[in-house]
Amino acid sequence: MEPDSHMYDHDLQRLSTKRLIGKVAVITGGARGIGAATAKLFAQSGAYVIIADILDELGAKLANLIGGRYIHCNVAKEADVESAIQLALTWKGRLDIMFNNAGIAGPGGSITNLDMEQVKSLLSVNLHGVLHGMKHAAQAMIKCQNGGSIICTSSSAAIMGGLSGHAYTLSKVAIIGLMRSAACELGAHGIRVNCISPHGVPSEMLVSSFREFLGDVRPDEVSRIVGETGSLLRGRGASTEDVARAALFLASGDAGFITAHNLVLDGGYTSASSNMSFIYKYEEKEKRK
């Protein structure tokens, strides 16, 4: 769905406090989904936002809406990522927040017949793209001597098996390891490096995957299905805004002593099994009597 005058969600406006005033942020994959929700919330919180994406029309429209900047950026190409960082330095003379969010779903199927060229293509975006972002963001932040926050999007698939394809899982596990390794080095410069691992967010990528099996399913239906089968919060599913709020927290001074951390955003799904769901069903049945 294209961004329009209704992109500013009233709930986000209510929750947004000016925690990022004067900060400069680059968001890869920022034209839609999690990236777009985060771009809006960051801007509402006082940040100058650069949207880096390959979806030029959507990205430029959203950047104009939030008073930010847009740059075409294929994160698999290091030069593109470097250009996005340079835009921040040219525009505002600093970089405070790097959100390495761009990613693709990649091939599914059995590990016995994976197409290795497709795997390489996925890793060039999901893993190399994050590495490019970390590398050039770190260079800029060290040069500016203002510290900074680097955030990466991983996944619940990195925590437990069977949630996604093998190649996608590989890339998301590797991101967490890379985050922790980079945090060890960059902490000396006051740069914090963290991950967010969402579960079941009805982004375009997840909805497309569901449609392969369920037909023309809507995002709200995907959220309902995930909430019923993958959440301890009695049917509540995740939203792109949930991830945006987590990113805002990690980007802000409220998380000033948090680094090398993987913030899991899954409604408890990967931490515990809701085997007591039959109790809830019994309670609901009793209420209806």
Q: Catalytic site residues?
A: 168
Angle at 171 between CA 129 and CA 97, to 5 degrees: 40
* CA 257, 263, 267, 270 torsion-angle sign: negative
* CA 209, 126, 74, 93 torsion-angle sign: positive
**Rounded-to-integer distance, Cα 27 and Cα 42, Å:** 10
**Rounded-to-integer distance, Cα 152 and Cα 243, Å:** 11
Q: How does strand 69-72 pair with strand 97-100? A: unpaired
Q: Are 37 and 108 in contact (CB under 8 A)?
A: no
Which residues fall within 8 angstroms of residue 287, CB to CB, at 6 or more apart? none
Residues facing residue 153 across a β-bridge: 196
Q: Give the start-end residues of each E strand in the chain.
A: 24-28, 48-53, 69-72, 97-100, 148-153, 191-198, 262-265
Q: Are 196 and 151 in contact (CB under 8 A)?
A: yes
